[in-house]
Amino acid sequence: MPIKKPCAFINARSGSTTDITKPLTSKLESVFDTLGPIAHVEPDEICQGIEAALNDGCDLIIIYGGDGSALSAAKLATARGVPIVPLPGGTMNLLPKTLYDTTDWEIALNRALECQSARWMAAGYANDAMFLCGCIIGTPTRLNDVREQIRSKHFKQAAETLVFNLVDFESGDVFKYGIGTNPDSYYEANLLNIICPQMSDTNTGRGGMEIVALDVDGFFDVAKLGLSAVASDWRESDSAKGNISDAVHVKGTGQIDILLDGEPARLDLPLHIRLAQKGVLILAPDK
């Protein structure tokens, strides 16, 4: 079914966002007869704006921001059977770079609008919490801040963050995880990195997530991990153990730290991570 009434929301606080309201409106007016809102909004206004646009009959949600902004849009739009177009306006822009092979929002939009119809993309769920790129589970998830600060050239802050996390980290903070829906065996880890198939550079086969577990033993190994995470990725750590599966189960009681597409949260244990093949509707070239 052709798109008839798109709308767009520009996250005013995302990493590389500028106010593109005027050029974006001009572009969409050249393609569509009817538009929904094209709004430059604060982060806490995005969900309310999307809900109102959906209620007003908008059938395409364009979101200009980071991966977290795309995730917010995906949760609301997919529940209503409406596709999204995530434009690169954040710091890392993992999802739009994967979907459109560019970090230029105009090129990304053109490639989206050239598509004849929306398609399904896989999404992960940690209990009921969705993620589109990946999730990181475990106490030292704040090491992600180190990577972000290095990439933003905030080296002093990165060093301070790394030292804080090393002091705060206890090597005994392990959890047990199993591969599959009903695992027969469980393993110990401090960190679990789960990557959706569209984001992985490993061949995950049909319907698999890439799963990288790290068993970090003490202060020295955490230091090496922090530097490895900044320099490249966790798969290069000597402590890494890789698997491919459509489900992971984490044992335990209470709560555990998790990053969902870079957004921090605490989720209840036990934790069940699964892959949904029909996770989110997107307007993007098929790959």
In a domain, 283, yes or no: no
Question: Could you tell me if 187 and 250 lie in one domain?
Answer: yes
What CATH number is attached to the domain comprising 73?
3.40.50.10330
Tokens of 176: 């047990």
Write down the pLDDT at residue 213.
Answer: 86
In a domain, 123, yes or no: no
pLDDT band at 226 (very low <50, low <70, confident <90, very high): very low
* Residue with the larger pLDDT of the pair 6 and 138: 6
- pLDDT (tens digit per residue) in 175-187: 999 999 899 999 9
Question: Could you tell me if 43 and 133 lie in one domain?
Answer: no
- pLDDT (tens digit per residue) in 91-149: 778 899 999 999 999 999 999 999 989 999 999 999 999 999 888 888 655 555 544 54
Question: Could you tell me if 262 and 133 lie in one domain?
Answer: yes
Tokens of 63: 């979101």
Number of domains in the chain: 2
Write down the pLDDT at residue 35.
Answer: 97
* Residue with the larger pLDDT of the pair 234 and 247: 247
In a domain, 214, yes or no: yes
- pLDDT (tens digit per residue) in 15-72: 666 889 999 999 999 999 999 999 999 988 999 999 999 999 999 999 999 888 899 9
Question: What mean pLDDT value characterizes the chain?
Answer: 82
How far apart are alpha carbons 153 and 168 in whole angstroms?
24
Question: Could you tell me if 176 and 241 lie in one domain?
Answer: yes
What CATH number is attached to the domain comprising 268?
2.60.200.40
Write down the pLDDT at residue 242.
Answer: 84
Question: Could you tell me if 146 and 260 lie in one domain?
Answer: yes
Tokens of 10: 């520009």
In a domain, 284, yes or no: no
Question: Could you tell me if 96 and 67 lie in one domain?
Answer: yes
Write down the H helix ranges in the chain: 21-29, 46-55, 67-79, 94-100, 105-113, 143-151, 155-168, 218-231
Question: Could you tell me if 59 and 102 lie in one domain?
Answer: yes
* Residue with the larger pLDDT of the pair 59 and 261: 59
Write down the pLDDT at residue 163.
Answer: 44
Question: Could you tell me if 74 and 196 lie in one domain?
Answer: no
* Residue with the larger pLDDT of the pair 17 and 224: 17
- Residue 178's domain spans which residues? 129-277
Question: Could you tell me if 144 and 271 lie in one domain?
Answer: yes
Question: Could you tell me if 150 and 183 lie in one domain?
Answer: yes
How far apart are alpha carbons 286 and 98 in whole angstroms?
11
Question: Could you tell me if 96 and 140 lie in one domain?
Answer: no
Write down the pLDDT at residue 40.
Answer: 94
How far apart are alpha carbons 224 and 45 in whole angstroms?
40
Domain boundary among 88, 117, 146: 117
H or E stretch covering 278? strand 271-282
In a domain, 253, yes or no: yes
Of 31-40, 140-149, 233-242, 255-264, highest mean pLDDT = 31-40
Question: Could you tell me if 23 and 143 lie in one domain?
Answer: no
